Amino acid sequence: MAFPELVLIGRWTLTGASTIPGKAPNTSWSPPPVQTTEPSLRMGYLTSHEVAEAKYLVVYPPVSSSGTIEDLREVSLVLDGEDYPYVYLAASQEFNMAPAPDTVTNGIIIDLGKSIWGRNGKPAGLLDATCPKANRTVSIKATAGENGVTDDYTVEVWGYIYPGDLLARLMPVYTVPSIVFPDPLNGRTFTVPGRTVTAGSDWTAHWTSLPGGLKQTVSNSQAAIHKLVRWAKNANPTQPSVAYQFQYQNSASSPGVAYAHENLFFQLTAEEAIIAERLGIDGPPPSSSGADVLSGAIYTPSESEKRHPLGGIPAGFYRGEAQFGLVAGTTNSFRGVPKLPQGEQLLTGEDAYVGVVDNGISIAANQIMVAFVGTLIESGAGGVI
């Protein structure tokens, strides 16, 4: 028998959305968990000697009986009663970042990490063991968009559950060496400090000190490590042929995105880094004026190469290579958020941001949707909001 087993940690189904309070525009709520077809399966609760880690989410978004897409803006995790501020998934049917795996016809689902205990009988590496961790409860928070939610939806969290004492016998100490990333293009390296975390008699007391946990020690000798998942819309019209920055703090009166957790402009110290892994870009169909998204990239303004990949990623409506979400003309076929074509990109020691460029004709506000996935190595200097 495989250990650990991938299990359904919890399922949350909202029913009667039009009559239950809290589904008005721009409100957030946590629906109660529901029992599955098997009474013994989980509902997001752990026993006093269990620990869990979330591997991926599945969202079945609200769609009316007439086929109208409802405005479920996003879904995020709540672990041990605390919001997990690193994973925000766009959740409407059109831009669903967490579709059921068997409905993804292009690409793969967003995976939040590998199980801490590998099936090869060894602990996962420092940047692999990024599954968000909990030792009491796993839940979700849903947020309605500008038009509210009036239809039903379901969210599932899949992952791993371990008896804390059994895992302590298998892995009494989680100890991993430092990881050094070479950056020959810019003549530097970046080091992710290794760590040692001791279980004791079981892992329940120290579980959230591991990568992906909210109680990691943050210092010059140890960095907190989390999977970073975000989406954003352009809160303002684009400026023709100028890279649009999805930045929250660029202007108090007119930020580039509407919410702090949409921020895709990172001010990184030399002790902080983001390993960029995926970038999705979806623009509107060309308007009567001919406006379209031309390309997108990750920008590092002061490095020797300022755009990654150098020529950008084609992002036009008809020939875009970074589209994600619902496939046009279908009702249940999705593109996963694509991996960067040049592979993982190390961002560290400076400002770095996601940018998109129009084709020379301005695109109206809230018409461009982007999705970003990476791994955050955080020193506590506060460079990432």
pLDDT of the residue at 252: 58
CA distance 13 to 188: 49
Angle at CA of residue 96, ends 114 and 309, nearest 5°: 70
Tokens of 182: 């070479």
Domain-located, residue 203: no
The DSSP-derived string for 20-72 is: SSS-STT-EE-PPB---SSTTS-SSB--TTEEEEEEEEEEE--B-TT-PBP-E
Contacts of 214 (CB under 8 A, 6+ apart): 79, 80, 82, 84, 133, 208
User: How many folded domains does the chain comprise?
Assistant: 2
Q: Provide the strand spans (E) within 221-324.
A: 224-233, 244-245, 265-267, 273-282, 293-299, 307-314
- Give the containing element (helix H, strand E) for 75: strand 72-79
Domain-located, residue 176: no
Tokens of 176: 């991993």
> β-strand 293-299 against 50-60: which pairing, if any?
unpaired
Q: Find the domain containing 300 and state its range.
A: 226-378
CA distance 40 to 137: 16
CA distance 321 to 339: 10
25 with 150, same domain? yes
> β-strand 153-163 against 138-144: which pairing, if any?
unpaired
Report DSSP state, residue 105.
E
65 with 155, same domain? yes
Tokens of 119: 């099936």
CA distance 311 to 295: 9
Domain-located, residue 195: no
Domain-located, residue 44: yes
Instruction: Look at residues 133, 166, 199 and tell me which one is the last residue of a structural domain.
Output: 166
pLDDT of the residue at 220: 65
Terminal C-alpha separation, the chain:
42
Domain-located, residue 219: no
Domain-located, residue 209: no
Contacts of 89 (CB under 8 A, 6+ apart): 57, 59, 74, 75, 76, 97, 98, 110, 229, 231
pLDDT of the residue at 218: 74
pLDDT of the residue at 18: 55
148 with 277, same domain? no
Q: What is the pTM of this model?
A: 0.94
31 with 152, same domain? yes
361 with 243, same domain? yes
53 with 122, same domain? yes
Q: For residue 267, what are the β-bridge partners?
A: 351
162 with 230, same domain? no
Tokens of 363: 């695109």
The count of other CB atoms within 10 Å of the CB of residue 161 is 18
Report DSSP state, residue 6.
P
- pLDDT per residue, tens digit, the chain (385 aa), is 578 999 999 999 877 655 555 578 888 888 877 766 666 677 899 998 999 999 999 999 999 888 889 889 999 999 999 999 999 999 999 999 999 999 999 889 999 999 999 888 899 999 999 999 999 999 999 999 988 888 889 999 999 999 999 999 999 999 999 999 888 888 888 999 889 999 989 999 999 999 999 999 877 667 899 999 999 999 999 999 999 999 997 655 689 999 999 999 999 988 899 999 999 999 999 887 899 999 999 999 888 778 888 889 999 999 899 999 999 899 999 999 999 998 999 999 889 999 999 999 999 999 999 999 999 998 764 556 5
Domain-located, residue 292: yes
Q: What is the phi-psi region of residue 147: left when phi exceeds 0, alpha when psi lies from -120 to 50, beta otherwise?
A: alpha
**What is the residue type of 384?**
V
Domain-located, residue 106: yes
pLDDT of the residue at 160: 96
271 with 158, same domain? no
Break the chain down into helix, strand, coil percent, rounded to 5: 5, 40, 55
Tokens of 227: 């999977």
CA distance 320 to 201: 53
Whether 374 contacts 276, CB under 8 Å: yes
351 with 274, same domain? yes
Instruction: Look at residues 166, 184, 216 and tell me which one is the last residue of a structural domain.
Output: 166
129 with 269, same domain? no
249 with 373, same domain? yes
Instruction: Write the CATH number for 374.
Output: 2.60.120
Instruction: Look at residues 149, 166, 183 and tell me which one is the last residue of a structural domain.
Output: 166
pLDDT of the residue at 60: 95
Can you say how many angstroms the Cα of residue 174 is from the centroid of all Cα atoms in its chain?
25
CA distance 212 to 199: 16
267 with 154, same domain? no
- Give the containing element (helix H, strand E) for 346: strand 345-348
Which residue from 224, 159, 124 is spatially nearest to 9, judged by alpha carbons? 159
Contacts of 153 (CB under 8 A, 6+ apart): 13, 14, 17, 59, 60, 61, 62, 70, 72, 91, 142
The residue behind tokens 């793969």 is 108
